Amino acid sequence: MSIISQIIGYPLGWIMWLIYQICHNYVFSIVIFTLITKIIMLPLSLKTQKSTASMQALQPKLEKLKKQYANNQEKYNEETMKLYSEEGINPMASCWPTLIQFPILYGIFDVVYRPITHIIRIDSDIIDAAKEIVLNSTTYGAEKHFQIRPEMYIVQAVNDPQYVSLFADSKFSELVEKVRDFAAHSTLFGVDMSLTPTLSPDVWNKSAIVLAMIPLLSGVFQVIMSVYSQRRQKKMNPGASSQASGMNFMFYVMPVISVWIAFSYPAAIGFYWASSSFFSLVQQIILNKFYTPEYVAKVIEKDKRKRKNKKKQGVMERYQQLLAEQQGTQNGGSRKNTITAAARVSDDDDDGNTEVKLSKSKQKEYERMLIREARRRQAEKYGDEFIDDDDD
């Protein structure tokens, strides 16, 4: 995590610090920071959405191939890859944006989990000293998640009257002052977000209820996201519903796990997860409204035309190069270049992947050139003298 925090966490930490300087409220800062990070990762989300929608649009053709080659797996795989190539779809394209998002997410978590480093900005030596005190002299040090994210527990300890004397040393004066100011501006409905939620508080007062609601809301948003995604997938591809049934377990277990983890950390972390889940849900709804089956069909067709035009343009460029090399040959250049260029253009035409439309004059010139080259090769093969009628 140290490498990730230095490469990604610190730049994002400056963003979080700037937001906090403007609004001076940690809860609002988390909301704004979450929104900004969603915007930063929007291009990756768009690529994933486009790839997923393209694959969904291709499902009927894939199902047809599956039925057609049900008894020939090798032929099915071959035709499937051919279909992907014709449609210009990479089945792994949706994976890359997701993989790229992981280090960014780790950097985001680092910012949220380390407010003393990224927002309060205390020297690391002072943070390490405070960590040792909290670890060895408080009940917070016994928390099983302390070693993973100690700064949230340092905030709790500094604001706990029971342990205030542990930070009496003058070297902690700046830490104590800034942490207390930070805690005063880290409340939601008057509830301190550095506290850890629990389902068994000493008394069910306002603070206990608000704290308990944060992890639960995080899980609720994730469940809604899972249900919405499943319904969307079923609508786009009804045949895949049975195949996806095995994923139902994970769809509903993961939110439960996240709720359990959120009850183990200070509430600010659960609040970030709830905010992130909410914005993800909103983003997914908007993208699905935009990436309709009709729109996806248009995008696929547009991409096909672009690839076709690009291939045509490439062949035309090689054709122009061929004519230039031929001119050089007529002026005393090497005929070997002409043969090589003609072979390149001929190979492109023989593949059947590119349809080249030339003007009648260029087509005739191209055909005469090929005939000349064929005659010259024939003469060389039998040791005859080749006379180029077109040479000056």
DSSP 95-113: HHHHHHHHHHHHHHHHHHH
Confidence at residue 351, expressed as pLDDT on a 0 to 100 scale: 46
CB half-sphere exposure, 228, CA atoms < 13 A = 18
> Residue type for 132, please?
E
Sign of CA dihedral 230, 232, 233, 237: positive
Question: How many other C-beta atoms lie within 10 A of the C-beta of residue 279?
Answer: 17
CA gap 357, 355 in Å, rounded: 7
Instruction: Please choose, from the candidates 96, 119, 10, the residue with its C-alpha nearest in 3D space to the C-alpha of residue 48.
Output: 96
Q: Where are the alpha helices (DSSP H) in the chain?
A: 2-4, 10-23, 26-40, 42-68, 73-87, 95-113, 115, 124-137, 150-158, 173-184, 206-236, 248-262, 267-290, 293-330, 335-350, 360-382
Crossing angle of the two packed helices 173-184 and 150-158, in degrees rounded to 10: 90
Q: Where are the alpha helices (DSSP H) in 237-266?
A: 248-262
pLDDT tens for the chain, 392 residues: list them.
Answer: 567 666 888 888 899 999 999 988 999 999 999 999 888 888 888 877 777 777 777 778 888 888 888 888 888 888 888 888 777 777 766 566 667 667 777 787 788 888 999 999 999 999 999 999 999 999 988 887 788 788 888 988 998 889 989 999 999 999 999 999 998 888 888 888 878 898 888 889 999 999 999 999 988 998 898 888 778 777 766 655 444 444 566 667 878 888 887 888 788 888 988 898 899 889 888 888 877 767 777 776 777 677 666 665 655 566 566 656 655 555 544 444 444 444 444 444 444 444 445 566 666 676 677 677 777 776 776 666 666 665 54
CA gap 177, 200 in Å, rounded: 32
Phi and psi torsions of 219, nearest 5°: -70, -40
Confidence at residue 172, expressed as pLDDT on a 0 to 100 scale: 94
Question: How many other C-beta atoms lie within 10 A of the C-beta of residue 307?
Answer: 13
Q: Provide the 8-state DSSP code for 353.
A: S
CA gap 241, 247 in Å, rounded: 10
Confidence at residue 173, expressed as pLDDT on a 0 to 100 scale: 93
Query: Is there a contact between 386 and 380 (Cβ–Cβ < 8 Å)?
Result: yes
Confidence at residue 35, expressed as pLDDT on a 0 to 100 scale: 92
Instruction: Please choose, from the candidates 132, 131, 120, 108, the residue with its C-alpha nearest in 3D space to the C-alpha of residue 9.
Output: 108
How many residues are listed for the chain in this entry?
A: 392
Confidence at residue 381, expressed as pLDDT on a 0 to 100 scale: 64
Rounded alpha-carbon distances, angstroms, from residue 325 to 156, 241, 342: 78, 58, 10
Instruction: Please report, in angstroms and rounded to a whole number, the separation of the first and last CA atoms in the chain.
Output: 74
Q: Which two tokens stand for residue 198?
A: 């629990």
Integer-rounded Cα Rg, in Å, for the chain is: 33
Phi and psi torsions of 13, nearest 5°: -65, -35
153-205 pLDDT, tens digit each: 898 899 888 998 999 999 999 999 999 999 888 888 888 887 889 888 888 99
Question: How many other C-beta atoms lie within 10 A of the C-beta of residue 192?
Answer: 19
* C-alpha dihedral, 204 to 206 to 207 to 208, nearest 10°: 30
Instruction: Please choose, from the candidates 256, 307, 376, the residue with its C-alpha nearest in 3D space to the C-alpha of residue 90.
Output: 307
CA gap 41, 12 in Å, rounded: 12
Q: Provide the 8-state DSSP code for 352.
A: S
Confidence at residue 356, expressed as pLDDT on a 0 to 100 scale: 47
